[in-house]
Structure 1
């Protein structure tokens, strides 16, 4: 099916042509006839198959044909679990909707709080955001959800994994009734709990599923190496030098391992940088831009980057650590072989990672081909980087306010610890002394039981 066969406005078709699209992908061919007719859709497809374009085309078409309300406020809301995914959706929306004239605003944490707040106040037709900051502005009454005509939830299963469902429900309950808006939900996996959410907040959605029997992209060549933990870096170095990997993503399970790997690669003249959950947002975006431009050949990432990132021409994905969650394996290797391209996914199974192979293969429903590395592939004469400086010990920290540093005496010599002394009580002020003088002394009963007071 071509896009010209669909009932699309001229402005939307022009945006599609500008991006170079002409033929629908399978998920688009099954989704668009339903969604363009106004029906709700819950769609499942492999990552990188065009889910974003499917819901953006529907969104632009609906807003162009429904008429613009007089009141200010967003007309469409797109919810995504991660900041990187929000940024990617916003970029695609600007490209596909370049001729539609809509105001598009991304809302996510870690950057431009006041700028985003002012943009919402000024009015935006389409808001794309993560739940946390959207709720923050909503509670401040910066914007309203009363005029939402279309809702899109992307990566719904990831919302559950990241604990966003309470926030998601908070937003959904403040939208117009489900039958007064159109709802689209897209995800790489649609499990039972996701479908329960769709039945609760959507209007009898049609379920669209594309090749669910195969979880991984067909054009990804997968390889598994069984290797000891101490041999992982020598093998990685040998593969990087042999394969000539021009744009490679390396996934690890922890930030500490990511930083260690970055130091070792940089020490061996391989430019690499790290993105993880606690890297400052501006820095993360700058690193991603370098990688997308081709200025940075190797990107090391934790699972924060395994979902939603669309980076063209990623040639290799390497699982330096096998993921503990089988779903993360699918999303990691989905960073390559996107939009019909080919790619290579290489995984290392060390002493710990080997325990996760069975669950991964059961989830993807096929065995990962195993290769055995020849001895000449290992690089053992690599440069060892300098160790990162250890954090300052607790004793070097400044003392708390109002306390003397440990070991200091009353005169500041600090040579010997003074014995504990009773606290010195300050002399009462004159006013306090007067009060004490005015107090009547206690009366004591005389020894003989008489009633007259006796002076003490």
Structure 2
């Protein structure tokens, strides 16, 4: 099913009910979780944990959240103290697993969320590593969720699940009625003025702007703020703590515009996102569906605006074929193309030694000073080092 259809609540409620109906083995240890829920990103794992706390507050289950980038010792202690339901990302889980902090022998429920994204991010080997250390598929409940069902995802399901049943929600039933989609055809140098013009026309709401690269998110963020639009950029370069702060401020309405790469396009449930703007058209048609799925969640309405510029317009036919219809074209008005202030260039980052930075004086390898006299003193400045020619060995006549 596509994003925003309630997949998280579906597998959480199913997991809780299964664990309540099937008590664990009496020999189970505290460091043996009963359920494992794997997510491709930290943000998605955190969101699943928050939803689990709300939906499972009366079940008595101990929840554990594990992800990289922060809280290593705290998460380790939490696992050592014992949990019932383990939620996390594959990398950090494998780290603790190989240290024998916990094991997966008592797993009764296995959930894999955003399976297609696991492939995209290169986590599938980690997923298989963990699944092969759980009880056999016929001895546990397995649930796999994916916004798109590719051949790779189907193969994974049949490899690690016991004759799974397929439930599929068609794309048109999810997005067409509740998301108003439009596309503009700006030139590359018209995209920023058009974006600012559109944002100034939005009186209220939360807006997510998607770009394809970190450099583009930074440029858009700086330009918006230079023109009086409070925005923040979020990409894989942003540290975890700052990323969580940005999401909280966006959720609370302190930041009306969030500029992001696709790292934020999956699994984030931020209520009342009214507009999604594709500053860059995604290069993958599936990512288009994931992006616009940030709005119109759980029955709400939203608007998705895309820029088909010179660099990315050729991806539009693939997107329209994937969703099954042509996106209506909108013409930019004069009010939507204002004169804008250009932000100052960003400060140059000190790349450091070994990455283009200058070597500290006195520590570099100066080839001219490596030659020395018999006494070990360096050759005088300006004097060329004489190269000794090796004589060819004489051959017998």
Displacement of 1:213 after TM fit? Answer: 5.1
User: Comparing 204-213 with 348-357, which one deviates more in the overlay?
Assistant: 204-213
Native 8 Å contact 1:46 1:217 kept in 2: no
> Who is 1:132 aligned against?
91
> Who is 1:181 aligned against?
140
Computed over aligned residues only, the root mean square deviation of the Cα atoms, in angstroms, reads 2.3
2:265 maps to which of 299, 306, 325: 306
Match of 1:339, SS? helix
Separation in 2 of the partners of 1:130 and 1:165?
12
1:232-251 to structure 2, matched below 5 A, reads 232-251=191-210
User: Residue 102 in 1 paired to residue 61 in 2?
Assistant: yes
Separation in 2 of the partners of 1:400 and 1:128?
52
Separation in 1 of the partners of 2:357 and 2:89?
41
Check 1:56–1:355 CA distance in 2 against 1; reply closer, same or farther (3 A cut).
Answer: same
Structure 1: runs of 5+ lacking an equivalent: 1-44, 411-415, 423-456
Separation in 2 of the partners of 1:323 and 1:406?
52
Displacement of 1:385 after TM fit? Answer: 1.3
1:378-417 to structure 2, matched below 5 A, reads 378-380=337-339, 382-392=340-350, 394=356, 396-398=358-360, 401=363, 403=365, 417=381
Check 1:321–1:417 CA distance in 2 against 1; reply closer, same or farther (3 A cut).
Answer: farther
Separation in 2 of the partners of 1:194 and 1:359?
21
1:398-437 to structure 2, matched below 5 A, reads 398=360, 401=363, 403=365, 417-419=381-383
Aligned residues: 374
2:7 maps to which of 42, 51, 67: 51
Deviations 1:65-116 (A, max 9, x none): 2124442210000011111110100000000001111111111111111111
Deviations 1:395-426 (A, max 9, x none): 6342585746999999xxxxx9544558xxxx
Displacement of 1:118 after TM fit? Answer: 1.1
> Who is 1:255 aligned against?
214
Check 1:132–1:395 CA distance in 2 against 1; reply closer, same or farther (3 A cut).
Answer: closer
User: Residue 293 in 1 paired to residue 252 in 2?
Assistant: yes
Check 1:174–1:384 CA distance in 2 against 1; reply closer, same or farther (3 A cut).
Answer: same
Check 1:202–1:263 CA distance in 2 against 1; reply closer, same or farther (3 A cut).
Answer: same
Native 8 Å contact 1:215 1:330 kept in 2: no
> Who is 1:231 aligned against?
190
Match of 1:266, SS? helix
1:43-192 to structure 2, matched below 5 A, reads 45-69=1-25, 70-72=28-30, 73-192=32-151
Displacement of 1:165 after TM fit? Answer: 1.3
Separation in 2 of the partners of 1:349 and 1:102?
48
> Who is 2:392 aligned against?
none
Structure 2: runs of 5+ lacking an equivalent: 373-379, 387-397
Check 1:384–1:56 CA distance in 2 against 1; reply closer, same or farther (3 A cut).
Answer: same
> Who is 1:323 aligned against?
282
TM-score using structure 2 length: 0.89
Separation in 2 of the partners of 1:235 and 1:271?
16
Native 8 Å contact 1:314 1:335 kept in 2: yes
User: Comparing 66-75 with 170-179, which one deviates more in the overlay?
Assistant: 66-75
Match of 1:289, SS? helix
Match of 1:49, SS? coil
> Who is 2:390 aligned against?
none
Deviations 1:27-58 (A, max 9, x none): xxxxxxxxxxxxxxxxxx12111100000001
Check 1:419–1:327 CA distance in 2 against 1; reply closer, same or farther (3 A cut).
Answer: farther
Check 1:407–1:265 CA distance in 2 against 1; reply closer, same or farther (3 A cut).
Answer: farther
**Larger radius of gyration between Structure 1 and Structure 2:** 1
Separation in 2 of the partners of 1:400 and 1:279?
35
Separation in 2 of the partners of 1:286 and 1:193?
35
